[in-house]
């Protein structure tokens, strides 16, 4: 990236010149760089990342908070806002908890997402039913992505991902957030759903 003084015989320049150069301010300086056409390569890894982001985003969208929907802040919202580090939004904090589970050493690992989905599928019948029933009550819906991980992601699995994120971020020292999700029973799933929609 080149640093320029008085670009194009002006005090400041912004924007693209033909399909070759881009002028823009950066950290108080006027800079110019080569123009690159953005590419959406839709690789398998990119598909896995986008599936993960879409799933946790769908979950976060169901957490009741005044700023979003005008309803009273839910218990999970309050827990997340109180635990999020200074300068980080509650939703980014919760999303980070899930994304950390599908990364190893800062690198996204497709096998990790597949393993989490397999762990969800291996839950007991009562727990699977609780996740599915509560996901439906929240208005979560199954989805399928066009590339990368192309198998259907169940609504219950989206709720499961949200629970994993809450546990990973230790949003509360109390139940059910202080237990391994494999040990959750249907009443824990019901309590988690209640925390998403209800206040203390």
Q: Against a cut of 0.75, is the pTM above it?
A: yes
Percent of the chain with pLDDT over 70: 92
| pLDDT tens string 120-166 | 999 999 999 999 999 999 999 999 999 999 999 999 999 999 999 99
Q: List, in order, residues 6 or more apart from 4 with CB less than 8 Å away.
A: 23, 30, 31, 32
| 159 and 66 within one domain | yes
Nearest Cα residue to 97 out of 52, 48, 32: 52
| 91 and 15 within one domain | no
d(CA 48, CA 99): 11
| 94 and 15 within one domain | no
* Token couple for 99: 């994304």
In a domain, 9, yes or no: yes
- 164 close to 97: Cβ distance less than 8 angstroms: yes
Nearest Cα residue to 94 out of 63, 133, 137: 63
Instruction: Tell me the CA end-to-end span of the chain in Å, nearest whole number.
Output: 53
Query: Could you give the number of structural domains in the chain?
Result: 2
Mean pLDDT of the chain: 88
Nearest Cα residue to 142 out of 162, 127, 159: 159
Give me the domain span that covers residue 172: 44-197
* Token couple for 81: 């806002």
d(CA 80, CA 90): 5
In a domain, 68, yes or no: yes
pLDDT level of residue 7 (50, 70, 90 thresholds)? low
Q: List, in order, residues 6 or more apart from 193 with CB less than 8 Å away.
A: 134, 137, 138, 159
pLDDT on residue 4: 57
In a domain, 39, yes or no: no
Helices 110-121 and 44-60 meet at what angle, rounded to 10? 50
Q: List, in order, residues 6 or more apart from 106 with CB less than 8 Å away.
A: none
Output 26 or 115, whichever has higher pLDDT: 115
- 191 close to 200: Cβ distance less than 8 angstroms: no
pLDDT level of residue 106 (50, 70, 90 thresholds)? confident
| 94 and 27 within one domain | no
Q: What is the CA radius of gyration of the chain?
A: 22
In a domain, 128, yes or no: yes
| 72 and 18 within one domain | no
């Amino acid at each position: 990236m080149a640093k320029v003084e008085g670009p194009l015989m002006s005090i400041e320049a912004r924007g693209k010149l033909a399909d070759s150069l881009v002028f823009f301010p950066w950290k108080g300086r006027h800079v110019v760089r080569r123009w690159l056409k953005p590419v959406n390569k839709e690789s398998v890894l990119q598909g896995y990342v986008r599936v993960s982001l879409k799933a946790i985003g769908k979950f976060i969208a169901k957490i009741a908070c005044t700023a979003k929907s005008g309803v009273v802040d839910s218990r999970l919202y309050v827990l997340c806002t109180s635990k999020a580090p200074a300068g980080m939004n509650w939703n980014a904090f919760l999303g980070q908890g899930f994304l950390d589970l599908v990364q190893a050493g800062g690198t996204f690992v497709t096998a990790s997402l597949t393993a989490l989905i397999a762990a969800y599928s291996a839950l007991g019948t009562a727990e699977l039913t609780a996740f599915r029933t509560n996901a439906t009550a929240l208005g979560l819906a199954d989805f399928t992505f066009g590339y990368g991980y192309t198998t259907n992601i169940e609504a219950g699995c989206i709720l499961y991902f949200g629970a994993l994120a809450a546990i990973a971020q230790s949003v509360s020292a109390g139940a059910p957030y202080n237990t391994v999700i494999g040990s959750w029973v249907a009443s824990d799933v019901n309590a988690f759903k209640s925390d998403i929609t209800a206040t203390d």
